[in-house]
Amino acid sequence: MANLGKPPDFDVVVIGAGFAGLGMLRRLREENGMSVQVYETGDGVGGTWYWNRYPGARCDSESYVYCFTFSKELLQDWDWSGKYPEQPEILSYLNHVADRFDLRRNIQFNTRVTSARFLEDTSLWEIETDQGDRVTAQFLITGIGCISSGNVPDIKGLDSFQGEWYHTGSWPHEKVDFAGKRVAVIGTGSSGIQSIPVIAEQAEHLSVFQRTPQYTVPARHGTVDRKFIEEKIKPNYEEVLEKARWSVGGFPIDRDERSALEVTAEERLEAYEAGWAEGGIRFLGASFKDISVDRRANDTMSEFIRNKIREMVSDPETVEKLLPTDHPFGSKRPLIDTNYFDTYNRENVELIDIRHSPIQEITPNGIRTEDEEYEFDMIVFATGFDAMTGTYFKMDIRGRNDLSLKEKWSEGPKTYLGLQTVGFPNMFMITGPGSPSVLSNMPVSIEQHIDWIADLLQFMRDGDIKSVEADENAETAWVAHVNEVAEPTMYMLADSWYLGANIPGKPRVFMPYVGGVGNYRKKCNEIADNGYEGFILDAGRR
């Protein structure tokens, strides 16, 4: 009761200084006039792009839409050099934003939030860090990323390995030298397929340990098309961005509104070939409308990609191992690569199928599978993340009645709009589970949440409202809706991290919202316009 009447140390504590944390800080400080403290584990800004420094790391969104949009000047001034932004350049961009908008003065680096507790008598949050901070704030906002808790599989013997080993998601800041080394890469998701071709060029020998063969589409990466940017994008930026905001995936592209099954086989092939030639999101996002919901339509695209693999890889045995046949295209995160399949034509690269001969243990000298023992100087784990919930559970977050978030979400995350969870008043999640988040171009979804949360905080301040909490019925209905829209899609037909399937023991629940960023934005706007329907706004506390 001692805190009653005492103002909090900050209006808002934000966790994380990636895209989400930086944007939230700027918006609340500059436009809402609030006091904000950001805590960040790393020694610099960047979030995902601070940690994921592995060779070949770049974003799958084309660079001109992978950015903040709050400043017209920033949009006009910043020039990306590549069609897809590369990790060092995204990190420079985020550092530029931090400097240009003077954000660092409210960020405490090298500081991990260890716990956050809701104090019911005052409706404040009390936040503790590993640096000994203990502060109070009216609001707690997480900008901790969706894929930020690295997963190093629990393989017997890792401690005994005498070489070097790394996880792609916490790559060293110093250069890792592959020259003359025998390298193993475990995992063929986005991080694996980006790093494998680059490591293959540098290492003496590379062995790729593949559990699930993947569909991947050429990125057609290269330098940015300046003429396109100067003539089509920069003069029309607002229009381009609006299109992205109201699209399905957060990209300003038009989907083919025909069914893959209503056109002739020749027309279909022509469309797939055109998309393949353009590459990346233009193959994935601009394709027929029913690829993600109709298995027969999907089969046409899946088979098209399998045929491309057959054409690109010369050794028939390797082709067989690489062909994805156990899940439809798009049921796992679609991948975009540069020279991935070509890499298997190199003399110094071999593919090891661990679906049929699983890894038994890591030995002092390498890796032993059921069939063979291999020697390595270096192991790279491209084995992904405990996505969407893992980073939340690393902190002890407790809401009303001392309820821990880990306990509340023990059967899978439950949220209202992916923004709040019942029992945790005044806490917001930027791109939390139950929002489009990882199924979209992230900055589009991040900025939508930033603006929506900041508008609500302003509404509360203007109306002298002290606390806000999602209503139980609204949350139950939203969780049911998230499941209902996911159910008929291809996403339910693979063991993916979207479903938590990559982490032993994790509940199998589809975590992001598949209804599209435009529909979702509309829903959030309507809820706000209706006086924040489904949220309990309380003027009484504090």
C-beta of 154 vs 529, nearer to ligand N01: 154
CB of 381 to ligand N01, least distance (A): 8
For CA atoms 281, 283, 288, 292, the dihedral sign is negative
20 binds ligand N01 (CB under 6 A): no
C-beta of 138 vs 431, nearer to ligand N01: 431
Which of 212, 334, 198, 190 shows the shortest CA–CA distance to 275?
334
CB of 335 to ligand N01, least distance (A): 8
CB of 330 to ligand N01, least distance (A): 12
CB of 233 to ligand N01, least distance (A): 20
255-274 burial string, b = 16+ CB within 10 Å, else e? ebeeebeebeeeebeebbee
17-30 burial string, b = 16+ CB within 10 Å, else e? bbbbbbbbbbbbbe
DSSP 198-214: HHHHHBSEEEEEESS--
Lookup: tokens for 412: 């899978």
Residue number of the CB closest to ligand N01 reads: 189
Q: What's the chain's length in residues?
A: 542
Which of 60, 146, 42 shows the shortest CA–CA distance to 386?
146
CB of 112 to ligand N01, least distance (A): 21
285 SS3 class: coil
CB of 49 to ligand N01, least distance (A): 10
C-beta of 383 vs 435, nearer to ligand N01: 383
Contact letters for ligand N01, residues 408-447 (x by CB under 6 A): ------------------------------x---------
CA distance 96 to 101: 8
For CA atoms 103, 105, 111, 115, the dihedral sign is negative
Contact letters for ligand N01, residues 47-86 (x by CB under 6 A): -----------xxx--------------------------
CA distance 404 to 393: 9
CB of 148 to ligand N01, least distance (A): 9
CB 391 within 8 A of CB 144: yes
322-338 burial string, b = 16+ CB within 10 Å, else e? bbbeebbbbbbbbbbbb
CB 280 within 8 A of CB 220: yes
327 binds ligand N01 (CB under 6 A): no
Residues between 98 and 157 that touch ligand N01 (CB under 6 A): 147, 153
- The residue range among 5-13, 367-375, 379-387, 397-405 that interacts with ligand N01, by the rule CB under 6 A, is 379-387
C-beta of 124 vs 354, nearer to ligand N01: 354
Binding-site size for ligand N01 (CB under 6 A) equals 25
Query: What are the helix (H) ranges across 133-247?
Result: 190-202, 226-228, 237-245
333 binds ligand N01 (CB under 6 A): yes
Alpha carbon dihedral 536, 537, 538, 542, in 10-degree steps, equals 120
CB 415 within 8 A of CB 478: yes
CB 55 within 8 A of CB 181: no
Residues between 478 and 517 that touch ligand N01 (CB under 6 A): 497, 502
Lookup: tokens for 179: 């020259």
- The residue range among 21-29, 69-77, 382-390, 485-493 that interacts with ligand N01, by the rule CB under 6 A, is 382-390
16 SS3 class: coil
C-beta of 354 vs 430, nearer to ligand N01: 354
C-beta of 59 vs 468, nearer to ligand N01: 59
C-beta of 38 vs 382, nearer to ligand N01: 382
C-beta of 497 vs 520, nearer to ligand N01: 497
Phi, psi angle pair for 462, to nearest 5°:
-65, -35
Contact letters for ligand N01, residues 170-199 (x by CB under 6 A): ----------------xxxxxxx-x-----
Looking up tokens 């979804």, which residue turns up? 445
161 binds ligand N01 (CB under 6 A): no
Instruction: Candidates 35, 95, 170, 212: give the one binding ligand N01 (CB under 6 A).
Output: 212
CB of 396 to ligand N01, least distance (A): 26
Which of 30, 32, 31, 38 shows the shortest CA–CA distance to 10?
38
C-beta of 312 vs 503, nearer to ligand N01: 503
CB 111 within 8 A of CB 40: yes
CB of 465 to ligand N01, least distance (A): 36
211 binds ligand N01 (CB under 6 A): yes
Instruction: Candidates 178, 385, 510, 535: give the one binding ligand N01 (CB under 6 A).
Output: 385
C-beta of 155 vs 403, nearer to ligand N01: 155
Would you tell me which residues interact with ligand N01 (CB under 6 A)? Answer: 58-60, 147, 153, 168, 186-192, 194, 211-212, 333, 354, 382-385, 438, 497, 502
